Structure 1
Amino acid sequence: MNSIYKYILFLCITLFVWVIGFSQNSVIDSLTNELSIHQQKDTGRVKLLNTVAFKNYGLDQAKLRKYAEEAVTLAQEIDYPKGEARSWYLLSIFHLSKGGLDSAMTTINKSLNLYTKIDNLIGVSSCYDLIGTISRFQEDFEKSVSYYNKALKIVKDKGDHMKAAGFIGNIGAVYSTMGEYDKAVTSYMEAIVIFDSLKAKKKSLNPLNNIALTYARQGRNTEALAYFQKCLSGYRENGNKIFGASILLNIGLVYSNINEYDKALLHIKEALEISKELGNELEVAKCFTSIGSAFFSKNEYDTALSYFNKSLEISDRLGSKEGRYNSYTNIGNLHLERAELNLALQNFKKSVEVSTSSGSKRLIGNSHIALGATYYELENYNKAFDNVSKGIKIAEELSLVNSQKKANLVLSKIYEKQGNYIKALEKYKLHKSQSDSLLNRESIETITQLEFEYKYQQERDSAKMRELMLINTVKSTSQNLEQSQRNSFIAIIVFLLITMLLGGIIFFLKLRNQKSKNQKIVIEQKLLRSQMTPHFIFNSLSVLQGMILNKEERSITYLSKFSKLLRATLENSRYKTVTLSKELSAIDSYMALQNLDVSTPYNYHLSLDSTINSDTLKIPPMLIQPFIENATEHAFVDKKENKEISVQITFEQEKLVVTIADNGIGINTDLQKSSNTKKSLATAITSERLEMISKDFKMKGSLSIQNRESFGEQGTLVTLVIPYKINLVQ
């Protein structure tokens, strides 16, 4: 039976891919046919040539160049500067895709001069944007940001929110390359919010990819893979090969980071074939580097070295500083592993030189750490300490956990050689804790679940596409029934075959869906503590969207606080326990965000027993916040002023007792006004969590909810007895 299902699935996927390719080619074929009919040398033919050239972008780069060059010649012949400017712009894109940065810059400047002469501001902004991108690849970051901001100013003045979002995302890409990761993610999120508000799903794929790439650089592999899988789904839908090659390569790099080398090679080699097909040498060099790294990790050193040298040859020819840095660093690591220390030292010195000239903090920090490790092996401990110290300072500034881990291990060894055993132990403990945080069992399980959900979603989307194809087939068959008896007979046979095929697919998907539900039940409890209320997230994004569209100055503050809260919640959810201080900090951020969105702020009070050290006391995350959120959503429905929420934390008979009190309508009134399904679910989930946590911690936990009317007061009182642990090591 399994073989039958696999065969059916293979037929459907093949059909799906063929339909996508056919639909794209049919558009291009239609335009090409129109072009063959329109032989008159006028502006209409120039526009057609440029349109056909643009449609071939990411599909057939040779045709892009062919039609754009023909458009340039014709536009010059008939004196059509706007059409000529567009053609030069398209040729610049072609050269950029091939890694020809100097040629790309020359052609885009020709386009910019023409657009400026005819005072076409939209064209000028597009040129500024592309100059910013080319400058970023040339590692001229100051120039890149400057041109992106010029482009952004023009489109903002024009009220073009779609293009503004694209330019904001490009600015984020520069910050990411420079190692300014917080600024980068903020820019990407701002772009995504705008795209989502405009219902431009495809446009949001680029900032989504860049967020994933930023997380990957920080060693946050679970989050990176989640974003990359979303982007891969988008690539499968729109078929842009340039974007697809980039996504596949990035997914391969994440798998390499978690030691899944076979999966890594599978994705990277697919990216390599697409890049070769497109003639994109920069991407080919990156693929060679990534394949070499995978073989290096598998201890196949000769194979790895051959790929590193291939990448270095291309990077030298194209003048790519980042490509040269990666090649020198990888070759140095290989020689270091083989104990060929002098060869390793030569390559790491070159990587320091290249990274310094590039100005990228991330590359500078990593190159100094690698050079320091080599000096340690050569027993030159002073130079080793100087270089590693420079590198770890940058790694800590940029939150590069993997780089900090490597640096702390080398520092531990240096201190040990110098006889400073206390410092050596301190650095080794840091190295060990950072190693554990980078790759733990929960991360692997989460990544596996993400893979499963992605594949399941992909199959379900394929089924929807096939269903749409079936409907279209039926319509087409109905229209052609009168043509001939033979056509009618064939149409009926095709209809029956597709119906049988669809029935098999639906049965297969139902079986997969049931398995998915069973697996999700096992994982659900782990996810519960890491999920924020979707209502709150969507509401916050809607509020932020409104602020941005109304150009309110407080939108920046709101976005900053929302990002901080979201990041704190995601960080806390990765751990079984967090310090009480971190949990309270997340609650403070939540209340600060809520008060930005209401006309009358909540009066929020926190009372912490003086005997409690919130930095050493550790509790399970996300136990207190749901009840505060319930209070803000339900307790003050009819109350607009004097909204009080107080949290009191005390020790009573060695029990950690948390009370959350509000002066709202009270729990009985609340239950009468609403079915309160969400509230009941939150209470049930918390009760179940406390029951499991009590068994795990071997400490009693409980939950009670009371109406304060019974005490002669107004509102609701929630009392939590939370199991805890005390961390004595600071």
Structure 2
Amino acid sequence: MTNPLTNFLPANKVSLEKKELGHLISKPLLFWSLLLLSLGQSHAQRSKIDSLESELSLHATYDTTRVNLLNELAFSYFSQDLITTLKYLDQSDSIADVIHFKKGQARSIYIRGITEAIQSNYDQALDYYDEALEWYKTANYQAGIANCYNAMGIALSYKGMPREAIFYFKEAIKIEEKIGGKNLSAPFINIGGLYQDLGEFDQAVFHLKKALAIAEANENEQRIAYSLNNLGTVYDKQGNYPLALEHYKQSMYMNEALGDSLGIVNNITNMGLIYQTQKNYDKAMKCYERALEIDEHNNKKKGICTALNLIGTIYEETGDYPSALSHYAKALRLSKEAGINTVIPYIHNNIGTTNLALKNYETAIQSFIEAKKSGLEIESKAAVSAAYIGLAKTYTTLKAYDIALNNALRAQEISEKSGFLEDQKEASEILSRIYEATGNYKNALESHQQFKLLNDSLFNQENFERVAQLEYEYMYKQQLDSANIRELKLTQTVLTTSQDLANSRQNYLWAIIGILILSIISGATMFYQKFNAIKARNRQIVTEQKLLRSQMTPHFIFNSLSVLQGMILSKEENKSITYLSKFSKLLRIVLENSRDKMVPLIQELEAIDIYMALQNIDADPSYDYSLVVDESIDSNLLLIPPMIIQPFIENAIEHAFGSSQEHCEIKVNLRWIGNELNCTITDNGIGIDTIVQKSGTRKNSLATIITSERLELLGKELRLPGTISIEDRKKYQAQGTQVSLIIPYKLVEHQ
């Protein structure tokens, strides 16, 4: 039995440092819905678990199937109920041990590693992963080996060993790409998160976008949500707050539907950061406290440290410094006990900032030094940059300008290389103060100008959505006021009309009614015309999308790959190489042609020729086919719609010939009839009438419907005829079917 989700993902990224985010637009409704949703599982997740438990109750035999069911149930529960997860794992272990089911034992050990990792027991988790890895290697189960490498990378990343973690993620990617596994998005998500922590944002965005594309192709909603959220944190750190918020919101919607409590915690935390930025501290505190409650229930120590740290920042910003230091101390103690090195430098920075506000300068300096040291150990450029800024601020306050200058310049260097706009702004501001205090007014002016430039840049990014919303609200209010004025005027008109009626002046009323009716009719006419235009554009877009989905059907691709696999297994090397070469060339041509509305006729004919050659390589009996192009047609100068002929050849191959027919023939003929480009596709099969009699209905194929729509639309656009007709050849005293196409065309424009 296969598991629907066979890989463990880390928690979504959340900011661990106290910082000023941009002014972002949030929806309070999302806040409350997230809190309610985090209390339980989604209906879909609950249905899946119920289905597994029902299947388990029906399968009483102690065999490999029961072991797989128990492991799958354990995995389904791990993000919500660790006690139930461990219960199912104990049952799985006992059965797998008795029946000597190695793969089942390895899966159980692997999931145990996940349960330890969630509780931040990373050394214990790594021991489990090592043990599972050996079992999987013994069984030569590549997917399991890839899962272990990915999980080991996660544990090492949380231990503050990013380069070692990246190595294991890359090993997982190699295996997943080799076996074509559906878990390929997981290591890409994880490695993208690490590059973000290292301040290498280009690499982070590259890997996370790749993860998102893979997850979308596999329709894996959980990993789509993780990818979106982690991309949001990258944009957040770069100061692109509107783009970050958009990714956060998309991730929230998906995690709501999935009922993923671990994902929801991080979504709640990100919402808290947004409220905190808006100085809405009550809502931000509710978010952080709810996240803390869920993480404490799951014994997720890293999440607990994060929540405590963020609650501390609320107290710090509201001036309650003792409470802030108390929460920072708890977070620091727990992170050290659990070995969660990735959190430690951020907590030290926050302790330093609070002590700076309290004028405890020596303590502040020591905290920033500790933050710098621990940040360098885990290669977190964000933490190190923040530490240098904290030291620069402290030494500037103490008027130790030489030391302050050195730290400010280091912060500026790191933040410029890594793209931390907020840190660049702060560094420029501190440098301006230092240069002014030391009499270096030229540099002071330059630094101040740089500060203003960065501040304006951040303002524009932070307020982009807010400005858009204000503009929208203003326009709406303006329209509402205008409507009220019109309504008032209309009311006055009605009153005047009533008075006129009293004075036997009904002609004014009829004039007003006539004007209103004419206005309504003209407005309706304009609306109808615009509606038809939009409808026509949408129809064209839908038709083009149908074309893309119909090209190179999955049935053909699956059959082609199956044929190729058979050749390889039969060790027909030359034949398989020829087949693969033609197949890859055909795919390339189809993909290239799909980008354009019109392609050269010679490219379309080449695609048809390769397609028929592929069909013939393993066909028994083979098809006799021919492509005849009238001498008056220059196939290099003529442009036609792509994939307009191939679907009918495919229809002929799939439906035209009976299983006992020995000689199969398909002919394609292109010629001019007047100014019309005519294409006929004929076969010597059983004929369309016989096919209709067998099926009992004359239902048009998808290819026929799509092609008919395309020909109609293109014909209107090019002002040329575009039609399709299908006939049984018995009317011409022949056997088979004939498809006749009149194809709209264009001539290549000479440069």
Fold equivalence (TM over 0.5): yes
Could you say which residue in structure 1 is the equivalent of 2:412?
392
Aligned partners of 1:218 and 1:318: how far apart in 2? 30
Displacement of 1:12 after TM fit?
Answer: 11
Could you say which residue in structure 2 is the equivalent of 1:157?
178
- Partner-residue secondary structure (3-state), 1:321: coil
1:61 aligned onto 2:76: no
Aligned partners of 1:599 and 1:346: how far apart in 2? 66
Displacement of 1:410 after TM fit?
Answer: 1.0
Could you say which residue in structure 1 is the equivalent of 2:248?
228
Of 11-20 and 52-61, more deviation after overlay is shown by 11-20
* Cα deviation 1:46-92 (Å, max 9, x = unaligned): 22221210111211122112222332233223321111100011111
Q: What is the correspondence of 1:518-557 to structure 2 with a 5 Å cutoff?
A: none
Larger Rg: 2
Aligned partners of 2:197 and 2:298: how far apart in 1? 24
Identity %: 28
Of 20-29 and 71-80, more deviation after overlay is shown by 20-29
* Cα deviation 1:491-534 (Å, max 9, x = unaligned): xxxxxxxxxxxxxxxxxxxxxxxxxxxxxxxxxxxxxxxxxxxx
Of 283-292 and 151-160, more deviation after overlay is shown by 151-160
Could you say which residue in structure 1 is the equivalent of 2:431?
411
* Cα deviation 1:668-710 (Å, max 9, x = unaligned): xx9996599xxxxxxxxxxxxxxxxxxxxxxxxxxxxxxxxxx
- Partner-residue secondary structure (3-state), 2:439: coil
- Partner-residue secondary structure (3-state), 1:347: helix
Aligned partners of 2:319 and 2:235: how far apart in 1? 27
- Partner-residue secondary structure (3-state), 2:183: helix
Could you say which residue in structure 2 is the equivalent of 1:491?
none
Distance change in 2, residues 1:191/1:31 (3 Å): closer
Aligned partners of 1:21 and 1:149: how far apart in 2? 33
Alignment check: 8 A CA contact 1:289 1:308 kept:
yes
Alignment check: 8 A CA contact 2:38 2:264 kept:
no
1:82 aligned onto 2:100: no
Long gaps (5+) in structure 1: 1-8, 453-534, 551-593, 602-636, 641-669, 677-713, 716-730
Q: What is the correspondence of 1:459-538 to structure 2 with a 5 Å cutoff?
A: none
* Cα deviation 1:349-381 (Å, max 9, x = unaligned): 111111111122222222122122212222221
Q: What is the correspondence of 1:191-206 to structure 2 with a 5 Å cutoff?
A: 191-206=211-226
Displacement of 1:214 after TM fit?
Answer: 0.8
Alignment check: 8 A CA contact 2:38 2:261 kept:
no
| Partner of residue 48 from structure 1, selected from 45, 56, 69 | 69
- Partner-residue secondary structure (3-state), 2:348: helix
Distance change in 2, residues 1:69/1:430 (3 Å): farther
Alignment check: 8 A CA contact 2:345 2:371 kept:
yes
Displacement of 1:322 after TM fit?
Answer: 2.4
Q: What is the correspondence of 1:226-625 to structure 2 with a 5 Å cutoff?
A: 226-440=246-460, 442-443=463-464, 445=466
Distance change in 2, residues 1:30/1:204 (3 Å): closer
* Cα deviation 1:631-675 (Å, max 9, x = unaligned): xxxxxx9989xxxxxxxxxxxxxxxxxxxxxxxxxxxxx999659
* Cα deviation 1:610-637 (Å, max 9, x = unaligned): xxxxxxxxxxxxxxxxxxxxxxxxxxx9
| Partner of residue 167 from structure 2, selected from 131, 146, 149 | 146
Aligned partners of 2:715 and 2:323: how far apart in 1? 71
1:98 aligned onto 2:119: yes
Letter in 2 for 1:66: K
Displacement of 1:450 after TM fit?
Answer: 14
Could you say which residue in structure 1 is the equivalent of 2:659?
none
Of 139-148 and 236-245, more deviation after overlay is shown by 139-148
Displacement of 1:324 after TM fit?
Answer: 1.4
Long gaps (5+) in structure 2: 1-29, 474-540, 558-591, 600-636, 641-712, 720-748
Distance change in 2, residues 1:15/1:175 (3 Å): closer
- Partner-residue secondary structure (3-state), 1:322: coil
- Partner-residue secondary structure (3-state), 1:203: helix
1:73 aligned onto 2:94: yes
Alignment check: 8 A CA contact 1:224 1:254 kept:
no
Aligned partners of 2:36 and 2:354: how far apart in 1? 44
| Partner of residue 129 from structure 2, selected from 108, 112, 123 | 108
Aligned partners of 1:15 and 1:350: how far apart in 2? 39
Distance change in 2, residues 1:17/1:408 (3 Å): closer
Could you say which residue in structure 2 is the equivalent of 1:176?
196
Letter in 2 for 1:109: D
Aligned partners of 2:324 and 2:441: how far apart in 1? 37
- Partner-residue secondary structure (3-state), 2:359: coil
Letter in 2 for 1:423: N
Displacement of 1:108 after TM fit?
Answer: 0.7
Calculate the TM-score normalised by the size of structure 2: 0.57
Distance change in 2, residues 1:298/1:21 (3 Å): same
Could you say which residue in structure 1 is the equivalent of 2:669?
none
Displacement of 1:196 after TM fit?
Answer: 2.4
Aligned partners of 2:330 and 2:283: how far apart in 1? 22
Distance change in 2, residues 1:172/1:14 (3 Å): closer
Distance change in 2, residues 1:17/1:113 (3 Å): closer
Distance change in 2, residues 1:338/1:674 (3 Å): farther
Letter in 2 for 1:187: H
Of 298-307 and 100-109, more deviation after overlay is shown by 298-307
Distance change in 2, residues 1:291/1:151 (3 Å): same
Aligned partners of 1:11 and 1:244: how far apart in 2? 12
Calculate the TM-score normalised by the size of structure 1: 0.59
Letter in 1 for 2:367: N
Alignment check: 8 A CA contact 2:40 2:259 kept:
no
Distance change in 2, residues 1:26/1:331 (3 Å): same
| Partner of residue 216 from structure 1, selected from 236, 240, 246 | 236
Displacement of 1:17 after TM fit?
Answer: 9.2
* Cα deviation 1:452-498 (Å, max 9, x = unaligned): 9xxxxxxxxxxxxxxxxxxxxxxxxxxxxxxxxxxxxxxxxxxxxxx
Could you say which residue in structure 1 is the equivalent of 2:157?
136
Aligned partners of 1:259 and 1:11: how far apart in 2? 18
Task: State the structure with bigger RCO (CA 8 A, min sep 6), 1 or 2.
Answer: 2
Aligned partners of 1:638 and 1:254: how far apart in 2? 57
Distance change in 2, residues 1:29/1:408 (3 Å): same
Letter in 1 for 2:63: D
Letter in 2 for 1:321: N
Alignment check: 8 A CA contact 1:258 1:439 kept:
no
